[in-house]
Structure 1
C-alpha cells in the first residue's frame, strides 16, 4: 500500500508555505509560497493552492500556525487570521485535519530531516529518548518541548515568547524599558524576533543620540561594516543564549536544544563568536550542569512541513 497523500502548510506571520506529502515525505516540487498580505484569511490561501496544484484531494491536511491552538482552533499571534479543523477540511477537500502550533510542527519534524539540514552550535552527544526542545526565532518567538511516549510523540503547545524578558544588567534594564513602551510589558518576543532586532538597533541608536534605524535584514547585512549593527546582533545573541538556557533548565532537554526559524538561521554564522554558548551556560553554580545540553541549528526552511506530515502519519498509524 502506498503512503497516503497529505496537504501540509506552514503559516507564518508574513508568508504561508503549502505542499503535498506522501506519508512523512514532503514532495519538493509541490511546495508553493504565498504572501499573507494578499489574502483575507488562511482558507483562501489553501483554496488557491488546490487550484494551482491540482491533482486528487488529500486524505489528510495539517497546518502549522504561528499562534496558540486550542480545541482545534488556531489564532495567529501576529496576523488577524484564524482557522479551525472544519474549515480546513472544507477548503482542502481532505477527509481529516489537524492544526498544530508552528513549534509543535518543528518538534514533530525532529528525526525526520536530512543530516545536512542541521549544524552543531554546542557540539555534545544527545541522549536517545530524552526530552528535546525546539526554540523558534522568526517573525515571533516560541519554544516547545518534545517528549517521546509509549503512545507516540507529544509536543505540547507553548507561548514562551510572551513571558517576561530576562534582565541581567543595567543596560538590559534600559533595553526592557525601551521595548516596553509599545505594550507596557517587555516580552521575550519584543527583542528575540525580526522586529525585536530592529528594536535593539533603535535602542542603541537612541542611547547614542541618533534616530537611525534599519530593517532586520539590513542590520544583518551591515554587521561587518556598522559597529552599531554588530553591537545589536551581539546583544540579541547574548539574550538568546540567556533565554535558551532558562528554557533548558525548565525542560531539561538532554536530547538536545534545536534552534529553528528564519532569524535563528540568519544568526547562525555569528552565534559562536558573539557569545551564545557563554550566555547559555552563564547560570552561576549551575554553569557546569548546562554542559549537558547539545544545541543544534536547524537550517531546513521547510521543517515545519515535514513535521505536519510526520504528525499525520503517526496519527494514521
Structure 2
C-alpha cells in the first residue's frame, strides 16, 4: 500500500507554510509560504494551496499554530485568526484533522529531523525510550515535554514562557526590575525571545547612562564590533542556560533536550563560547546530576511540518486506516 496523503501547515504570526506529506515524510518540493496579511483567515490559504498544487482530498490535515490550543481550537497570539478542527476539515476535505501548538509539533518532529539538521551542544547520554524536551526560542519562548507511550507520542501543551524570570545575581535582579517597569511582570519570554534580546540591550544601555535601541538582527550583526551587543548576547545565553537547566530538573528529559526556533538557531554559533554549558550546569549540589542531560540544536526550519505529518501518521494508524 502507498503511504497516505496528508496536508500540513505551520501558521506563524507573519507567514503560513503549507506542504504535502506522504505518511510521515514531508515532500520538500511541495512546501509553499504565504503572507498572512494577504488572507482573511486560514481557510483561503489552504484553498489557494490546494488549487496551486492540484491537491486531491488528503486523508488527514494538521495545523501547527503559534498560540494556545484548547478543545481542538486555536487562537493565534499575534494574528486575528481562530482555527478549529471542523473548519479545517471543511477547508481540506480531510477525514482526520489535528491542531497543535507549534511546540507540540516540534515535539512530534523529534526522530523525523534529518541527522545533519541536529547539532550537539552539550554531550550527554541519550536514552531514546525516556522523556525528551523541546525548548523553543523565537518570537516568543515556550517548552514542551515529549513522552513516547505504548499508545503513541504524547506532547502536552504548555506556556512556559510566561513563568517568572529566574534571578541568580545582582545584575539579573536589576534586569528583572527593568523588565517590570514596562511589563509589570517579568516573564521568561520578556528576555528569552527576539524582542527580549532587544530589551536586554536596552537595559545595558540604560545602565550605562546612554539609552540606545537596536533590533535583534542588528545586535547579532554587531557582535564583533559593538561590546554592548556582545554583552547582551552573553547575558541572553547565560539566562537561556539557567532556564534550560531549570526545565531539565522539572521534566528529567533523559532522552535529550532540543533547542528549536529562529532565535535559538541565531544563538547557535555562540552557545559554547559564551558558556551556555556552565549556566546550564550551575545548580549547586545538583551540578553533577546535570551531566545526565544532552542538549542539541535543531537547525530545521520545517520541523513543525514534519511533526504534523508524524502526528497524523499515528492518528490514522490507531484508526486502522493504514
- TM-score bracket, normalised by the shorter chain, equals over 0.9
SS at match of 1:181: helix
Segments of structure 2 that go 5 or more residues without pairing to the other structure are 318-322
Cα contact 2:177–2:186 (8 A) shared by 1: yes
**Equivalent residue, structure 1, for 2:210:** 210
Compute the displacement of 1:214 (Å): 1.4
List aligned pairs for 1:1-317, cutoff 5 A: 1-317=1-317
Compute the displacement of 1:97 (Å): 0.7
**Deviation digits for residues 203-256 of structure 1, max 9, x if unmatched?**
111111223211111111111111111111111100000000000000000110
Partner Cα separation in structure 2 for residue 196 and residue 10 of structure 1: 23
Compute the displacement of 1:95 (Å): 2.0
Partner Cα separation in structure 2 for residue 185 and residue 54 of structure 1: 49
Cα contact 2:50–2:56 (8 A) shared by 1: no
Partner Cα separation in structure 1 for residue 185 and residue 54 of structure 2: 46
**Deviation digits for residues 112-134 of structure 1, max 9, x if unmatched?**
11110100000223012001000
Partner Cα separation in structure 1 for residue 210 and residue 92 of structure 2: 50
Deviates most, 47-56 or 64-73 = 47-56
Cα contact 1:12–1:139 (8 A) shared by 2: no
Compute the displacement of 1:30 (Å): 0.7
**Equivalent residue, structure 1, for 2:320:** none
Structure 1 residues 18 and 190: alpha-carbon distance in aligned structure 2, compared to 1, 3 A threshold? same
SS at match of 1:168: coil
Compute the displacement of 1:33 (Å): 1.3
**Deviation digits for residues 160-210 of structure 1, max 9, x if unmatched?**
011111111121112112223333111111111111111111111111122
SS at match of 1:300: coil
Partner Cα separation in structure 2 for residue 34 and residue 231 of structure 1: 36
Partner Cα separation in structure 2 for residue 122 and residue 14 of structure 1: 32
- TM-score (norm: length of structure 2): 0.95
Partner Cα separation in structure 1 for residue 233 and residue 34 of structure 2: 29
- TM-score (norm: length of structure 1): 0.97
Paired residue total: 317
Structure 1 residues 288 and 316: alpha-carbon distance in aligned structure 2, compared to 1, 3 A threshold? same
SS at match of 2:3: coil
Cα contact 2:11–2:66 (8 A) shared by 1: yes
Partner Cα separation in structure 2 for residue 181 and residue 76 of structure 1: 27
